[in-house]
Amino acid sequence: MSEKYITRSTAIAAHMLGGEMMVMSATDSTFFTLNEVATAIWQAADGRTPLSEIVSHAVCDQFEVEPEVARADAEQFVEELSGHGILLVSDGPIENSYSVPVEGS
Amino acid sequence: MMSSVHEIAVDIGGMPILLRTDDPSFREMLATRYAGFVGSSQNPKFELDVDLVTPSPEMASDEDVHVEMQDGQWLLRRGDFRAQWDPRVGRGWVRQTANPYSIDAVLRILHSLVLAREGGFLLHAASAIRNRRAFLFSGVSGAGKTTISSLAPDDAKLLTDEISYIRKESNGYVACGTPFAGELARVGENCSAPVETVFLLAKGPVNKIEPVSNGEAVRCLLRNILFFAEDPELVKLIFRSACEFVDKVPVQRLTFMPDARVWDLIQ
């Protein structure tokens, strides 16, 4: 299976509030709140780290979850957010990926 | 022949906007509509020349409001008005027929644009001051804004039954009265107080207050904040304002019966 690379769109705003990550698309105002696992993937989405590595290090090493379940959940999460243009997905490293600053506590 | 100019400063949320017209009867209509919110013409924050035109099909379409920034100027358009405003110099103009609704919409839009830059916003919410603190009751049409406003006890000062004005200050958030009336057709009182709580309204068989998650609070606020511009940067500002607001101000769900006893919970 081919590898995926993910990065955050620049057309979004993100804010950490009381331990919850809030993300909104600035183009269509779609709004998401991310759980802890999704937040970990989100924060690791630097365009250079393969998704499998993100799942391994940011999810499986940090949360009690089976690797296959984590991989499937991550794929679903990436598909949903990329469908709204909030995450950008590529089958190769994403050059010049820009880390959207996360505001809040 | 020279025509005389008639001015009136409408001061909402501490932001006086000077309106200038050559029609004295229009000026009088504004004075009546915004009674209680007429301020000094000496130091307006902005000035708008209101150009009254005769009714025509062009100025009577049902085109939705459209707001965009072009070359540093805000262009505002709806079926019943055209307006332009340059925030750099604080001047602009409005073209409309002699009716109160068009200028009312322009004022709402201008305030929403200015507040967005300052961390505040206009919210679909009734609000009232009780014991020197402001309580907001937010919800879409039918949620109960008018009902809870009409049930307010005598000691509560009604700031608005429709559009709440939230200003960010160094030590928190302040709710200001507005003349933007809803079904009660009653202009709010021109006063302000620190925001104590925002209640998300729901009608139900009992009166009760329940917590809501931060995510739901932000989602509901974003749904009810008045915002007109299709400008991604301003959308980001509004998002940030909503998050920062929820971080500082309790947001709770208020389920209530149409009965004045609900106000026992609000003090």
| Interval B226-261: pLDDT, tens | 988 778 888 899 999 999 999 999 999 999 998 899
State which residue of chain A sits closest to B227, comparing Cα positions. A29
Amino acid A27: pLDDT: 80
- ipTM comes to 0.82
Chain B residues touching A15 at Cβ < 8 A: 239-240, 243
B247 and A11 within 8 Å at the Cβ level: the answer is no
Let me know the angle formed at the C-alpha of B145 by B32 and A20, rounded to the nearest 5 degrees. 125
Among the residue ranges A91-100, B9-18, B55-64, the one predicted with the least confidence is A91-100
Cross-chain Cβ contact A26/B236 below 8 Å: yes
Question: Containing domain of residue B174, as a range?
Answer: 121-265
The answer to whether residue A99 is domain-embedded is: no
Q: What is the pLDDT of residues B21-79, one digit of tens each?
A: 999 999 999 999 999 999 988 889 999 999 999 988 878 788 899 999 999 999 999 99
B223 and B255 belong to one structural domain: yes
pLDDT digits (tens, 9 = 90+) for A2-51: 789 999 998 899 999 988 899 998 888 889 999 999 999 999 999 999 99
What does the angle CA B139 – CA B176 – CA B237 come to, to the nearest 5 degrees? 65
> Which of residues B117, B145, B180 is at a domain's end?
B117
- Partner residue facing B243 (CB), from A11, A26, A104: A104
Averaged pLDDT for residues B213-224: 95
> What pLDDT does residue A97 have?
66
What pLDDT, on the 0 to 100 scale, is given for residue B264? 93
Q: Chain A partners of B248 at a C-beta cutoff of 8 Å?
A: none
Q: What is the mean pLDDT of chain A?
A: 89
Its domain, for residue A36, covers 5-87
- Top residue of B212, B214, B246 to mutate, by most chain A CBs within 10 Å, is B214
Q: Are residues B175 and B230 in the same domain?
A: yes
Percent of chain B's residues with pLDDT above 70: 97
Query: What CATH code is carried by the domain that includes residue B126?
Result: 3.90.228.20
**Residue B133 shares a structural domain with residue B225:** yes
User: Percentage of chain B surpassing pLDDT 90?
Assistant: 82
Are residues B134 and B101 part of one domain? Answer: no
Of A17, A20, A29, the CB nearest to B235: A29
Statement to judge: residues B88 and B153 lie in one domain: no
Q: Is 90 exceeded by the pLDDT of residue B163? A: yes
**B176 pLDDT more than 70:** yes
Euclidean distance between CA atoms A12 and A84, whole angstroms: 10
Q: Does any CB of chain A come closer than 8 Å to the CB of residue B181? A: no
Dihedral angle sign, alpha carbons of residues B133, B138, B144, B146: positive
Confirm or reject contact between B226 and chain A (CB < 8 A): no
Both B147 and B260 in one domain: the answer is yes
List CB contacts of B235: < 8 A, sequence separation 6 or more: A13, A24, A26, A29, B227
Q: Which residues of chain B have a CB within 8 Å of the CB of A39?
A: none
Please list every residue in chain B whose beta carbon sits closer than 8 Å to the beta carbon of residue A13: 235-236, 239-240
Instruction: Tell me what pLDDT residue A99 has.
Output: 65
Q: Domains in chain B: how many in total?
A: 2
CA-based end-to-end distance of chain B: 59
CATH classification at residue A32: 1.10.10
* Cα–Cα distance for residue pair B75/B62, rounded to 1 Å: 18
Q: Tell whether A104 is covered by a domain.
A: no
Nearest beta carbon to residue A13 from set B214, B236, B246: B236
Last residue of a domain, one of B84, B117, B150: B117
Last residue of a domain, one of B91, B117, B143: B117
Q: Please indicate, yes or no, whether residues B141 and B212 belong to a single structural domain of this protein.
A: yes
The one-letter amino acid at A37: V
For B256, phi then psi, to 5°, come to: -145, 155
Alpha-helical (H) ranges within chain B are 24-33, 100-118, 145-150, 214-224, 232-248
Domain count, chain A: 1
Is the pLDDT score of B1 beyond 60? no
Q: Both B126 and B100 in a single domain?
A: no
- pLDDT the model gives residue B61: 80
pLDDT the model gives residue B81: 96
The pLDDT of residue A84 is above 70: yes
Residue A67 is assigned to a structural domain of this protein: yes
Q: What is the pLDDT of residue B2?
A: 57
Average pLDDT value for chain B: 93
State whether B80 and B192 are in the same domain.
Answer: no
Q: Do B111 and B154 fall within a single domain? A: no
Residue B142: predicted pLDDT: 85
Do B15 and B38 share a domain, yes or no?
yes
Residue B184 has pLDDT above 90, yes or no: no
**Domain contains A28:** yes
